[in-house]
Amino acid sequence: LLVGASGTAAQAAPAGHGAASRATSGYGGSLNFSELVQEQNQWCWAATGLSIAQYKGYGQNTSQNSFCLASRGLSSGTCPNQPAELSVVQRGWRALGMSAGTEVNGGVNYSTVQSEINANRPLETGVYWTSGGGHARVIYGYNASAGTILFSDPWPTNQRYQEMNYNTYVSNSQFRWGGTVYRVGA
């Protein structure tokens, strides 16, 4: 899954799916997760990857550029403003000394989302826009009674923290869930 591959990342969630704050009471599980805003228009993967690393206690003084360089195996300079596969994010995590988790194509089932959040592990996800391109987001919570997930979006003008029905996140008229890295930091 190539994420950050389109200027269409500014698309909002499908209509009828409201926002959620990070710390909403009554949720089955919600991590106190903070999402970085991506610094380049193709760096959604760098922002989400570094956000997860910092949540897990790694890379606290690391810039998105430095994370991007490490993820791409580059030593210095300005990292290219290019999309990346989820495996590139995993390389960045390994460079920071953390466990890079397991990558799978598509989404994971709802019980896996619950297990990961209950184990204090946010999930890196990549979505494919139906209009072309991809985008990285982080699942950081769920509400089992409503069948929803909580996710963050690094795009500068998008709502940072959102809630959506799990099945809608898997596939809808705007995007489909194309890849996941879970067990990050395990």
- The structural domains of the chain, ordered by start, are 2-7+15-182 (3.90.70.10)
Q: How confident is the model at residue 28 (pLDDT cuts 50, 70, 90)?
A: confident
What whole-number percentage of the chain has pLDDT above 70? 85
Q: How confident is the model at residue 118 (pLDDT cuts 50, 70, 90)?
A: very high
Please compute the mean of the pLDDT values over residues 119-135 and round it to a whole number.
97
Identify which has the larger pLDDT, 186 or 23.
Answer: 186
Is residue 66 predicted with pLDDT exceeding 90? Answer: yes
What whole-number percentage of the chain has pLDDT above 90? 83
Please compute the mean of the pLDDT values over residues 44-60 and round it to a whole number.
98
* Distances from the Cα of 35 to the Cα of 104, 106, 121, 173, angstroms: 22, 22, 14, 25
Residue 96, pLDDT score: 98
- CA 57 – CA 70 distance, rounded (Å): 17
The pTM for the full model equals 0.88
Q: How confident is the model at residue 7 (pLDDT cuts 50, 70, 90)?
A: very low
**Token pair belonging to 65:** 């550029």
Partners of residue 165 on adjacent β-strands: 148
Is residue 122 predicted with pLDDT exceeding 70? Answer: yes
Is residue 86 predicted with pLDDT exceeding 60? Answer: yes
- CA 78 – CA 137 distance, rounded (Å): 23
